[in-house]
Chain A
């Protein structure tokens, strides 16, 4: 499904701020894998997701999605394979457009946008049903501008948008980190529902070790631009937070920075 071959990313090359954020990193995801990603601040987690999404091109290496080489494919073109939810609730939606219009934009991901209607009545009915599944009461206010919604509501809508057109790969970058714990739990629950319903191959970054353990079938830990730990199957099921901290210390040769990882 996803094949990342020895990718590197250097920020600000040739300056004093030069930073090797990804260092010959390789990762292969199988169809239906739900992978949680943890690691300290600056480990390169977001950089990995952005590399896959095409926010910029990688400095070296290659990226294949479903056997298509997307390494030099622009961000908007490879968007047809990807669903994305960002850490910042403002990032994933157009604030000045309605909930329905945002969903309509997402439902046209990967298609030619021509002079057909931007949204139809039939679509609106469909979106109402989808919004009902979120259980946030949004189905009764589908023309409300997204800018008027709370952060949690926006993330829930962004999740719907990311999965409206079944993506080959769902990329979640700490999408609950900016929410209060209760809302975060709810959004995470919705995430789990959607991923299971559509059997989505998913890469989910989280700051919360418990969440990383509780969700998905595979867990990877990053440090300094490398993957330092990759656990799946039964081993992952039996994993505890203490195990993780210990494994991190061994793998990275240092104590896991507790301040940076919220243990929930």
Chain B
């Protein structure tokens, strides 16, 4: 009974995980590469979907709706970046301010409604919950219809390929250096402020894109769809790191690990749901799990490290 439930729900969990995997890669860019915890994403994870749904329902083509969602993400990242670098607001607070502003902005985008639906029957959606168990590609009324698992997996791999290329360019390397050691970066002529802004923009663009896919997948955009997104993103990053740190050293594989981390997160979540756990407790559960995993490396350093050599003293 429980088992069949779980198996039935598994494809949906994988599809959701893949979509959130794109979001989690956005979080990886800020949290792991730039060393900034960006809370804007809780807002952006709704903005992208809201923009996409409103564009589609007003008759705009899919490519334009997705482009607009990505543009909105870029803008959200830019604002947080300017709060931080131009106005000197600490990164966490800058993200919170953007997130709060986005709550109002998202409501305005959605025509003052907390929820806007997108009926899969009336639109040619890229991804839809209804196709999660069908063939990878079918032709319906002359249009290709994709299984979301297949399509998002391909998109995820494309995104990883582009990011792999980007972080190998001069500009990408300067972003990595900015996160690793801002002092050294400036000494090597890197504009670290610009780097942080750019990183936040790229990150939020990915999050908004993920949000646009999620809204299509579930058939609606909702003002609360991004609530706690940062925790899910971090969970995916952490799960990916814990599972694959030892074997994945290549940057592309590390990003892939984050994507897989998001899938694992949603599969485990589904497992917990199938076991009949009160759904109201889920966010609490996620937060506790993430808190514990964040603490592990700290505890390791605190209690299990050998005394460091004098020459290796930390700054």
Query: Residues of B contacting A178 with CB < 8 Å?
Result: 310-311, 313
**B-chain residues with CB within 8 Å of residue A101 when the two chains form the complex:** 173
Contact A106 B313 (CB under 8 A): no
* Chain B residues in 8 Å Cβ range of A115: 166, 169-171
| Complex: chain A residue closest to B165, CB-CB | A115
Count residues on chain A whose CB falls below 8 Å from chain B CBs: 43
Select the stretch in A25-33, A78-86, A125-133, A253-261 that faces chain B: A78-86
For B59, list chain A residues within 8 Å (CB): none
Q: Which applies to chain A's interface (DSSP): helix, strand, loop or mixed?
A: loop
* From A76, A93, A104, A118, contact of B191 by CB (8 A): A76
Q: Which of A53, A84, A114, A119 contacts B171 (CB 8 A)?
A: A114
Asked if B181 and A93 make an inter-chain contact with CB atoms under 8 angstroms apart, the answer reads yes
Partner of A94, one of B181, B311, B313: B181
Tell whether, in the assembled complex, residue B189 and residue A109 are in contact, meaning their CB atoms are under 8 Å apart.
Answer: yes
Q: Given A104-B173, A116-B169, A118-B173, are A79 and B313 neighbors across the interface (CB < 8 Å)?
A: no
Contacts of A23 in B (CB 8 A): none
Question: Within 8 Å of chain B (Cβ to Cβ): is A75?
Answer: yes
Q: A113-B171, A114-B169, A161-B188 are in contact. Are A94 and B315 (CB under 8 A)?
A: no
> B176 to A94, Cβ gap below 8 A?
yes
Question: Are B186's CB and A76's CB within 8 A?
Answer: yes
Q: Is A113 within 8 A of B190, CB to CB?
A: yes
Give the contacting residue for A151; candidates B168, B170, B172, B312; CB below 8 A.
B312
Contact in complex: A91, B184 (CB < 8 Å)? yes
Known: A91-B181, A94-B177, A179-B311. A105 touches B186 (CB 8 A): no
Please state if B315 and A110 are interface contacts (CB–CB under 8 Å). Answer: no
Interface residue B187 (Cβ < 8 Å from any Cβ of A): yes
Shortest C-beta distance, A51 to chain B (Å), equals 14
Given contacts A150-B312, A180-B311, contact A92 B187 (CB under 8 A): yes
Known: A79-B186, A113-B169, A116-B169. 6 other contacts (CB 8 A): A97-B173, A97-B177, A105-B174, A115-B171, A150-B309, A178-B313
CB within 8 Å of B: which residues of A?
53, 74-77, 79-80, 82, 84, 86, 88-97, 101, 104-106, 108-111, 113-119, 150-152, 161, 178-180, 183
